[in-house]
Amino acid sequence: MNQKQIKMLKKEIVDESALNVGYYEAVIPEIIDNIDSDAFYEVMGKSSGEWLLEAAKSNDRVEFENILVSEMIKNMSYSDFKNVAHYFFGYQQNKEEFVARSVEWTNDLFIQFQNDTDNILETNIKKEMLNMDNSQLNNMEIITKNFEATQILILDNLRLAQDIFKEKMLEKTPTEIFDNASKIIYVGDALFELEGFVEDFTTDEYRERMYSYDKQMAALFERFYMDSPQDSSETFILAAENSYYKTDENYEIGSDDKSYFMENYIADYFELKPYLETFESKTKTSKSIENIAETSDSIKIKGM
């Protein structure tokens, strides 16, 4: 099929739904493999996560797969859709496609890619941090340059966590994806939302720490800056999965209490207690000094 025909096929799927056009079930893992990770989490999250969740809770596998396939195709670029177009009814193969086959994306290949990525990211971040003047760290406060480098490190680990979680989904059959839809949607949404929280966290919020959530996030930054934990991506996934098991089944997409998630799971799994206690101790000391100063001033005034 030529470019125009493939684009028309995609439009037909978007307008009429994948189920009405017709498709082979094997398209699901292929779509997940070809779709951009941001688009994937948009579909499984706020974009259509509520519809998928409702279909899963109703045990309506046909509707679940129809929504999943239709929405993912909608979010695909032409070049990505071209790779999966042959799974839909009405697609006509040309002679070249009869002899061409895509490279199989195996688990071993993914692990190799993941390790290479880990090495590249870790090396670059560590080089940047080693070039920083450690004297800039005053009472565990990260100034702007340190803050940004730490933020990048956390975000890289969170994004890798989403890629790892996505790859784990590829190992599942369509039936397993349906059976685990609620967990998949929750964990995917939790990781995606946490990425947004880290990305939006500012140096002012780090310094002021007015709310419990700010204190937890600041402690996470300090944990990564002072002693970057090993297997951080896997730890993010583990925290999100365990949060899911303790969550009411009637949760809604994007409605999770970020403070609760940070305090009960991220803080626990990343062992943030020492960093939180250090800040609280420093705050109490500062308040005590202020109280002493105020008392001293009051005595001086009375003695005048």
Q: How does pLDDT run across 176-225, given as a tens digit for each residue?
A: 877 888 888 888 888 888 888 899 999 889 888 888 888 889 889 988 98
Q: Where are the alpha helices (DSSP H) in the chain?
A: 3-16, 18-21, 27-34, 37-42, 49-57, 61-74, 78-82, 95-99, 107-130, 144-170, 174-179, 181-200, 203-208, 212-227, 232-245, 258-261, 267-269, 273-303
Q: Answer yes or no: do 201 and 254 share one domain.
A: yes
Angle 3-16/61-74 helices, nearest 10 degrees?
140
Dihedral sign, CA of 206, 45, 184, 7? negative
Considering only residues 103 and 184, tell me which one the structure prediction assigns the higher pLDDT.
184
Q: Mean pLDDT across the stretch 23-43?
A: 75
Q: Tens of pLDDT along 45-76?
A: 656 667 777 777 777 888 888 888 888 888 88
Same domain, residue pair 273 and 210 = yes
Looking at the structure, tell me whether residues 168 and 201 fall in a common domain. yes
In a domain, 298, yes or no: no
Q: Give residue 277's identity as a one-letter amino acid code.
A: E
Q: How far is CA 9 from the centre of its chain?
A: 31
Among residues 80, 99, 118, the one where a domain terminates is 99
Q: Do 95 and 144 lie in a common domain?
A: no
Backbone angles phi, psi at 251, to 5 degrees: -60, 160
Residue 160: band (very low, low, confident or very high) from pLDDT cuts 50, 70, 90: very high
> In total, how many domains does the chain have?
2
Per-residue pLDDT tens digits for 112-126: 545 554 554 455 544
Structure token digits, residue 53: 């969740």
Give 287 or 242, the one with higher predicted confidence: 242
The rounded distance, in Å, linking the Cα atoms of 270 and 92 is 52
| Contact indicator for 216, 259 with CB cutoff of 8 Å | yes
Q: What single-letter DSSP state applies at residue 23?
A: B
* pLDDT for residue 49: 67
- Whether pLDDT at 96 is above 80: no
| 3-state SS assignment for residue 88 | strand
Crossing angle for the helix pair 232-245 and 144-170, to the nearest 10 degrees: 70
Q: Is 17 inside a domain boundary?
A: yes
Q: Which two tokens stand for residue 196?
A: 């947004």
| Domain boundary pick from 55, 75, 99 | 99
Pick the closest to residue 166 from 113, 224, 230 (CA basis). 113
Is residue 126 domain-shared with residue 142, that is, in the same domain?
yes
Is there a domain that residue 126 lies in? yes
- Domain end point (choices 99, 123, 148): 99
Picking from 29, 18, 47, the residue whose alpha carbon sits closest to that of residue 189 is 47
Higher pLDDT, 124 or 281: 281
Say if residue 285 is in the same domain as residue 140: yes
Give yes or no: residues 62 and 166 share one domain: no
Question: Nearest CA to 67 among 59, 83, 55?
Answer: 55
The better pLDDT of the pair 142, 281 is held by 281
In this structure, are 147 and 36 located in the same domain? no
Q: Output DSSP code: residue 241.
A: H
- The pLDDT score that the predictor gives to residue 198 is 92
Residue type for position 288: S
CA gap 223, 12 in Å, rounded: 50
CB-CB contact of 216 with 267 (8 Å): yes
Q: Which residue has the higher pLDDT, 180 or 106?
A: 180
Q: Give the integer Cα–Cα distance in Å for 289 and 275.
A: 21
Contacts of 212 (CB under 8 A, 6+ apart): 259, 263
Domain of 35 in residue numbering reads as 3-99
Asked if the structure places residue 302 within a domain, the reply is: no
Quick check: 218 and 209 in contact, CB under 8 A?
Answer: yes
CB-based contacts of 164, cutoff 8 Å, min separation 6: 114, 233, 234, 237
Q: How far apart are CA 256 and CA 243, in angstroms?
A: 10
pLDDT at residue 146 in the model: 82
Shared domain check, 177 and 129: yes
> Are residue 186 and residue 87 in the same domain, yes or no?
no
The verdict on residue 300 lying in a domain is: no
pLDDT given at position 199: 92
**Domain presence at residue 224:** yes
Which pLDDT score is estimated for 185? 81
